[in-house]
Amino acid sequence: MTKPAQEWQVRGLLKTTAEFFLSKGVDEARLGAELLLAHVLKMARLDLYLQHERPVYPDELERFRELCRQRLGGRPLQYITGEQWFYGLPFHVDRRVLIPRPETELLVEFALELLESDGASASGVPRILDAGTGSGCIALTMAIRMPTLQAVGIDVSLEALEVARTNAERHGAGDRVSFAVGDMTDPLFSPPGAPFDMLVSNPPYIPESEWAGLQPEVRDHEPKLALTVPVGMECYRALAAMAGRLLRPGGRIALEIHADGAGGVVELLEEAGMLDIVVKKDYAGLNRIVQGRLPR
Protein backbone atom coordinates (compact mmCIF):
# COMPACT_ATOMS: atom_id res chain seq x y z
CA MET A 1 0.00 0.00 0.00
CA THR A 2 2.38 2.66 -1.26
CA LYS A 3 0.13 5.00 -3.25
CA PRO A 4 -0.49 8.52 -1.98
CA ALA A 5 -3.63 8.48 0.16
CA GLN A 6 -5.63 10.61 -2.26
CA GLU A 7 -5.20 8.04 -5.03
CA TRP A 8 -6.74 5.13 -3.17
CA GLN A 9 -10.26 4.02 -3.95
CA VAL A 10 -12.18 1.26 -2.24
CA ARG A 11 -11.75 -1.29 -5.04
CA GLY A 12 -8.01 -0.87 -5.39
CA LEU A 13 -7.39 -0.80 -1.66
CA LEU A 14 -9.34 -4.01 -1.16
CA LYS A 15 -7.48 -5.79 -3.95
CA THR A 16 -4.05 -4.71 -2.75
CA THR A 17 -4.77 -5.49 0.89
CA ALA A 18 -6.21 -8.93 0.14
CA GLU A 19 -3.15 -9.80 -1.94
CA PHE A 20 -0.84 -8.56 0.81
CA PHE A 21 -2.67 -10.57 3.49
CA LEU A 22 -2.52 -13.65 1.27
CA SER A 23 1.23 -13.23 0.78
CA LYS A 24 1.67 -13.13 4.55
CA GLY A 25 -0.41 -16.25 5.14
CA VAL A 26 -3.34 -14.46 6.81
CA ASP A 27 -6.47 -16.63 6.89
CA GLU A 28 -9.49 -15.46 4.87
CA ALA A 29 -7.45 -12.69 3.30
CA ARG A 30 -10.19 -11.16 1.15
CA LEU A 31 -12.84 -11.39 3.85
CA GLY A 32 -10.48 -9.80 6.33
CA ALA A 33 -9.75 -6.88 4.04
CA GLU A 34 -13.45 -6.35 3.42
CA LEU A 35 -14.47 -6.48 7.08
CA LEU A 36 -11.72 -4.15 8.22
CA LEU A 37 -12.37 -1.57 5.52
CA ALA A 38 -16.14 -1.75 6.03
CA HIS A 39 -15.55 -1.21 9.75
CA VAL A 40 -13.38 1.85 9.15
CA LEU A 41 -15.74 3.36 6.58
CA LYS A 42 -18.83 2.45 8.66
CA MET A 43 -20.34 0.55 5.75
CA ALA A 44 -21.86 -2.85 5.18
CA ARG A 45 -19.63 -5.19 3.15
CA LEU A 46 -22.05 -4.97 0.22
CA ASP A 47 -21.69 -1.19 0.17
CA LEU A 48 -17.99 -1.54 -0.54
CA TYR A 49 -18.91 -2.90 -3.96
CA LEU A 50 -21.79 -0.52 -4.54
CA GLN A 51 -19.38 2.35 -3.85
CA HIS A 52 -16.21 0.76 -5.19
CA GLU A 53 -14.92 4.06 -6.64
CA ARG A 54 -15.31 5.93 -3.35
CA PRO A 55 -12.03 7.58 -2.30
CA VAL A 56 -10.39 6.52 0.93
CA TYR A 57 -9.27 9.65 2.74
CA PRO A 58 -5.97 9.97 4.66
CA ASP A 59 -7.43 9.61 8.15
CA GLU A 60 -9.45 6.56 7.05
CA LEU A 61 -6.40 5.04 5.40
CA GLU A 62 -4.29 5.47 8.53
CA ARG A 63 -6.97 3.84 10.67
CA PHE A 64 -7.30 1.01 8.17
CA ARG A 65 -3.55 0.45 8.15
CA GLU A 66 -3.52 0.27 11.94
CA LEU A 67 -6.22 -2.41 11.92
CA CYS A 68 -4.34 -4.31 9.22
CA ARG A 69 -1.23 -4.28 11.40
CA GLN A 70 -3.27 -5.79 14.23
CA ARG A 71 -4.56 -8.49 11.90
CA LEU A 72 -1.04 -9.27 10.69
CA GLY A 73 -0.07 -9.64 14.35
CA GLY A 74 -2.65 -12.43 14.73
CA ARG A 75 -5.45 -10.56 16.48
CA PRO A 76 -8.79 -12.11 15.44
CA LEU A 77 -10.94 -10.08 13.08
CA GLN A 78 -13.87 -10.26 15.48
CA TYR A 79 -11.90 -8.64 18.29
CA ILE A 80 -10.62 -5.91 15.97
CA THR A 81 -14.09 -4.96 14.76
CA GLY A 82 -15.78 -5.83 18.06
CA GLU A 83 -18.45 -7.88 16.34
CA GLN A 84 -19.34 -11.41 15.32
CA TRP A 85 -22.48 -12.45 13.47
CA PHE A 86 -24.17 -15.52 14.93
CA TYR A 87 -27.31 -17.17 13.60
CA GLY A 88 -28.00 -14.04 11.54
CA LEU A 89 -27.58 -11.65 14.47
CA PRO A 90 -24.71 -9.29 15.40
CA PHE A 91 -23.04 -9.73 18.79
CA HIS A 92 -20.42 -7.62 20.48
CA VAL A 93 -17.29 -9.62 21.30
CA ASP A 94 -13.92 -8.77 22.79
CA ARG A 95 -11.16 -10.52 24.71
CA ARG A 96 -13.48 -11.11 27.66
CA VAL A 97 -15.48 -13.74 25.74
CA LEU A 98 -15.03 -16.61 23.34
CA ILE A 99 -15.76 -15.83 19.68
CA PRO A 100 -18.97 -17.71 18.71
CA ARG A 101 -18.39 -20.43 16.12
CA PRO A 102 -20.64 -21.79 13.35
CA GLU A 103 -20.75 -25.15 15.15
CA THR A 104 -22.56 -23.48 18.03
CA GLU A 105 -25.21 -22.27 15.61
CA LEU A 106 -26.03 -25.95 15.09
CA LEU A 107 -26.48 -26.31 18.84
CA VAL A 108 -28.96 -23.42 18.85
CA GLU A 109 -30.82 -24.76 15.83
CA PHE A 110 -31.15 -28.23 17.34
CA ALA A 111 -32.17 -26.87 20.74
CA LEU A 112 -34.92 -24.76 19.19
CA GLU A 113 -36.19 -27.75 17.23
CA LEU A 114 -36.37 -29.80 20.43
CA LEU A 115 -38.29 -27.11 22.29
CA GLU A 116 -40.73 -26.70 19.42
CA SER A 117 -41.30 -30.46 19.19
CA ASP A 118 -41.94 -30.68 22.94
CA GLY A 119 -44.40 -27.79 22.91
CA ALA A 120 -44.72 -25.22 25.68
CA SER A 121 -43.87 -26.05 29.26
CA ALA A 122 -46.57 -26.48 31.88
CA SER A 123 -46.62 -22.73 32.44
CA GLY A 124 -46.87 -22.02 28.72
CA VAL A 125 -43.45 -20.29 28.75
CA PRO A 126 -40.39 -22.37 27.78
CA ARG A 127 -37.48 -21.72 30.13
CA ILE A 128 -33.83 -22.53 29.42
CA LEU A 129 -30.55 -22.37 31.30
CA ASP A 130 -27.47 -21.47 29.26
CA ALA A 131 -24.48 -22.67 31.30
CA GLY A 132 -21.25 -20.87 30.43
CA THR A 133 -23.06 -18.15 28.51
CA GLY A 134 -20.03 -16.04 27.52
CA SER A 135 -21.26 -13.40 25.08
CA GLY A 136 -24.83 -14.56 25.66
CA CYS A 137 -25.19 -15.59 22.03
CA ILE A 138 -26.95 -18.91 22.77
CA ALA A 139 -29.50 -17.64 25.29
CA LEU A 140 -30.20 -14.41 23.39
CA THR A 141 -30.48 -16.05 19.97
CA MET A 142 -32.92 -18.64 21.29
CA ALA A 143 -35.00 -15.94 23.00
CA ILE A 144 -35.07 -13.80 19.87
CA ARG A 145 -35.99 -16.72 17.60
CA MET A 146 -38.64 -18.01 20.05
CA PRO A 147 -40.44 -14.92 21.39
CA THR A 148 -42.19 -16.78 24.23
CA LEU A 149 -38.96 -18.20 25.62
CA GLN A 150 -37.28 -17.03 28.81
CA ALA A 151 -33.62 -17.73 29.55
CA VAL A 152 -31.06 -17.52 32.30
CA GLY A 153 -27.40 -17.35 31.32
CA ILE A 154 -24.73 -18.12 33.89
CA ASP A 155 -20.97 -17.76 33.73
CA VAL A 156 -18.10 -17.90 36.19
CA SER A 157 -16.58 -14.78 34.59
CA LEU A 158 -17.96 -11.42 35.70
CA GLU A 159 -16.27 -9.82 32.69
CA ALA A 160 -18.07 -12.17 30.30
CA LEU A 161 -21.39 -11.33 31.94
CA GLU A 162 -20.76 -7.64 31.25
CA VAL A 163 -20.51 -8.48 27.55
CA ALA A 164 -23.63 -10.66 27.69
CA ARG A 165 -25.65 -7.86 29.28
CA THR A 166 -24.40 -5.44 26.62
CA ASN A 167 -25.67 -7.81 23.95
CA ALA A 168 -29.02 -8.26 25.72
CA GLU A 169 -29.46 -4.49 25.74
CA ARG A 170 -28.44 -4.26 22.10
CA HIS A 171 -31.11 -6.76 21.09
CA GLY A 172 -33.79 -5.51 23.45
CA ALA A 173 -34.06 -8.89 25.17
CA GLY A 174 -33.24 -7.89 28.73
CA ASP A 175 -36.81 -8.48 29.89
CA ARG A 176 -36.69 -12.18 28.95
CA VAL A 177 -33.01 -13.06 29.36
CA SER A 178 -31.21 -12.57 32.67
CA PHE A 179 -27.62 -13.31 33.62
CA ALA A 180 -26.02 -14.42 36.86
CA VAL A 181 -22.59 -15.47 38.09
CA GLY A 182 -22.23 -19.20 38.66
CA ASP A 183 -19.76 -22.06 38.37
CA MET A 184 -21.27 -25.06 36.62
CA THR A 185 -18.67 -27.38 38.17
CA ASP A 186 -19.65 -26.40 41.73
CA PRO A 187 -21.71 -29.22 43.32
CA LEU A 188 -23.72 -26.56 45.17
CA PHE A 189 -24.45 -24.66 41.94
CA SER A 190 -28.02 -23.36 42.15
CA PRO A 191 -29.00 -20.94 39.36
CA PRO A 192 -32.09 -18.76 39.71
CA GLY A 193 -35.23 -19.86 37.92
CA ALA A 194 -35.07 -23.65 38.16
CA PRO A 195 -36.58 -25.96 37.11
CA PHE A 196 -35.95 -25.41 33.41
CA ASP A 197 -37.30 -27.04 30.27
CA MET A 198 -33.80 -27.23 28.81
CA LEU A 199 -30.19 -26.99 29.90
CA VAL A 200 -28.03 -25.93 26.96
CA SER A 201 -24.29 -25.41 27.06
CA ASN A 202 -21.09 -25.04 25.06
CA PRO A 203 -18.80 -25.58 28.05
CA PRO A 204 -15.01 -25.51 28.23
CA TYR A 205 -13.74 -28.89 27.08
CA ILE A 206 -10.13 -28.51 25.92
CA PRO A 207 -7.73 -30.25 28.34
CA GLU A 208 -5.11 -27.91 29.74
CA SER A 209 -2.45 -30.21 28.32
CA GLU A 210 -3.56 -29.20 24.80
CA TRP A 211 -3.51 -25.43 25.42
CA ALA A 212 0.06 -24.84 24.25
CA GLY A 213 -0.64 -26.62 20.97
CA LEU A 214 -3.66 -24.54 19.95
CA GLN A 215 -3.49 -22.11 17.04
CA PRO A 216 -1.76 -18.91 18.16
CA GLU A 217 -4.79 -16.84 17.13
CA VAL A 218 -6.84 -18.75 19.71
CA ARG A 219 -4.21 -19.34 22.38
CA ASP A 220 -2.87 -15.78 22.42
CA HIS A 221 -6.17 -13.91 22.27
CA GLU A 222 -9.24 -15.84 23.40
CA PRO A 223 -9.97 -16.35 27.13
CA LYS A 224 -8.42 -19.55 28.45
CA LEU A 225 -11.13 -19.76 31.10
CA ALA A 226 -13.78 -20.22 28.39
CA LEU A 227 -11.87 -22.96 26.61
CA THR A 228 -9.98 -25.21 28.99
CA VAL A 229 -10.53 -27.46 31.98
CA PRO A 230 -7.92 -29.63 33.74
CA VAL A 231 -8.82 -32.91 32.02
CA GLY A 232 -11.64 -32.29 29.56
CA MET A 233 -14.85 -33.84 30.90
CA GLU A 234 -15.35 -31.90 34.13
CA CYS A 235 -18.18 -29.66 32.90
CA TYR A 236 -20.08 -32.47 31.20
CA ARG A 237 -19.84 -34.61 34.33
CA ALA A 238 -21.12 -31.75 36.49
CA LEU A 239 -23.98 -30.83 34.15
CA ALA A 240 -25.13 -34.44 33.80
CA ALA A 241 -25.07 -34.90 37.57
CA MET A 242 -27.14 -31.79 38.27
CA ALA A 243 -29.64 -32.19 35.42
CA GLY A 244 -32.09 -34.04 37.65
CA ARG A 245 -32.50 -31.08 40.00
CA LEU A 246 -32.23 -28.31 37.39
CA LEU A 247 -34.70 -29.68 34.83
CA ARG A 248 -38.40 -30.43 35.07
CA PRO A 249 -39.55 -34.03 34.39
CA GLY A 250 -39.10 -34.60 30.66
CA GLY A 251 -36.65 -31.70 30.45
CA ARG A 252 -33.86 -31.73 27.88
CA ILE A 253 -30.11 -31.26 27.94
CA ALA A 254 -28.25 -30.20 24.78
CA LEU A 255 -24.46 -29.93 24.81
CA GLU A 256 -21.78 -28.97 22.32
CA ILE A 257 -18.90 -31.43 22.58
CA HIS A 258 -15.30 -32.04 21.55
CA ALA A 259 -15.39 -34.15 18.37
CA ASP A 260 -13.68 -37.02 20.22
CA GLY A 261 -15.81 -36.78 23.34
CA ALA A 262 -19.19 -38.12 22.22
CA GLY A 263 -18.82 -41.55 23.80
CA GLY A 264 -17.85 -40.16 27.19
CA VAL A 265 -20.67 -37.61 27.26
CA VAL A 266 -23.25 -40.18 26.18
CA GLU A 267 -22.08 -42.44 29.01
CA LEU A 268 -22.45 -39.61 31.53
CA LEU A 269 -26.01 -38.88 30.37
CA GLU A 270 -26.90 -42.56 30.54
CA GLU A 271 -25.56 -42.74 34.10
CA ALA A 272 -27.74 -39.73 34.95
CA GLY A 273 -30.83 -41.62 33.75
CA MET A 274 -31.31 -39.68 30.52
CA LEU A 275 -33.42 -41.12 27.71
CA ASP A 276 -33.56 -40.54 23.94
CA ILE A 277 -29.84 -39.70 23.77
CA VAL A 278 -28.84 -38.48 20.31
CA VAL A 279 -25.46 -37.46 18.86
CA LYS A 280 -25.52 -34.91 16.02
CA LYS A 281 -22.70 -34.19 13.58
CA ASP A 282 -21.42 -30.81 12.39
CA TYR A 283 -20.79 -29.56 8.85
CA ALA A 284 -17.51 -31.49 8.72
CA GLY A 285 -19.17 -34.76 9.72
CA LEU A 286 -17.70 -34.69 13.24
CA ASN A 287 -19.67 -35.48 16.38
CA ARG A 288 -20.61 -32.08 17.78
CA ILE A 289 -23.86 -32.14 19.81
CA VAL A 290 -25.28 -34.58 22.34
CA GLN A 291 -28.80 -34.31 23.69
CA GLY A 292 -30.79 -36.30 26.19
CA ARG A 293 -34.14 -36.18 28.03
CA LEU A 294 -35.16 -36.85 31.61
CA PRO A 295 -37.98 -39.34 32.19
CA ARG A 296 -41.39 -37.70 32.41
Is 178 assigned to a binding site?
no
In 3-state terms, what secondary structure has residue 96?
Answer: coil
Query: Measured between alpha carbons, how far is 107 from 275 in angstroms, rounded to an integer?
Result: 19
174 known member of a binding site: no
Alpha-carbon span 142 to 124, nearest angstrom: 16
Look up the CATH number of domain 83-293. 3.40.50.150
To the question of whether residue 204 is assigned a binding role by annotation, the answer is yes
pTM attached to this predicted model: 0.92
Query: What secondary structure, in 3-state letters, does 77-92 show?
Result: HHHHHCEEEECCEEEE
**Per the annotation, does 135 bind a ligand?**
yes
Domain coordinates of the chain in residue numbers?
Answer: 5-73, 83-293
Provide the angle, in degrees to the nearest 10, between the axes of the packed helices 137-145 and 158-170. Answer: 20
Q: Using one digit for the tens of pLDDT, what is the confidence trace for 219-274?
A: 999 999 999 999 989 999 999 999 999 999 999 999 999 888 899 999 999 999 99
Contact 90, 112 (CB under 8 A): no
Annotated ligand binding at 136? The verdict is yes
- Per-residue pLDDT of 44-60, as tens digits, reads 999 999 999 999 999 99
Q: How far is CA 70 from CA 79, 205, 219, in A?
A: 10, 28, 16
Is 232 within any annotated ligand binding site?
no
Asked if residue 292 belongs to a known ligand binding site, the reply is: no
For the cut 80, the answer to whether the pLDDT of residue 136 exceeds it is: yes
CATH of domain 5-73: 1.10.8.10
